[in-house]
Amino acid sequence: MAAADAPLPDVASLSFEEALAELEGIVKTLEGGQGKLEESVRAYERGAALRRHCEAKLAEAEQKVQAIVEGPSGATLRDVE
């Protein structure tokens, strides 16, 4: 997790892998139980946002995979909204 005074990047700008790595760090920190209550609440809120972001990225990837269909000339990718 980033240093306390360093600004955290916007969750929406993170790749799936970056968000997941940060989320894993938050989980380890919270499981350690050594932080102050206020810091733990902020970390939990950030973790919830990261979880939602990861779920959205996974859903997007799933839509792209489901869009692959067998066409007359082989596998094609339909347009995904």
pLDDT in tens, 37-58: 999 999 999 999 999 999 999 9
Query: How large a percentage of the chain has pLDDT more than 90?
Result: 60
pLDDT of residue 64: 83
Q: How confident is the model at residue 1 (pLDDT cuts 50, 70, 90)?
A: very low
Mean pLDDT of the chain: 84
Closest to 65 in 3D by CA, of 81, 73, 77:
77
In sequence order, what are the residues at sequence separation of 6 or more whose Cβ sits closer than 8 angstroms to the Cβ of residue 57? 15, 16, 19
With beta carbons less than 8 A apart as the criterion, state whether 47 and 26 touch.
yes
Q: Which domain holds residue 71?
A: 11-77
How far is 63 from 81, CA to CA, in rounded Å?
9
- Can you give the CATH number for the domain in which 26 is found? 1.10.287
Our count of domains for the chain comes to 1
H-assigned helices in the chain: 16-32, 37-66
Could you tell me the pTM of the whole model? 0.74
Decide if 19 is inside a domain: yes
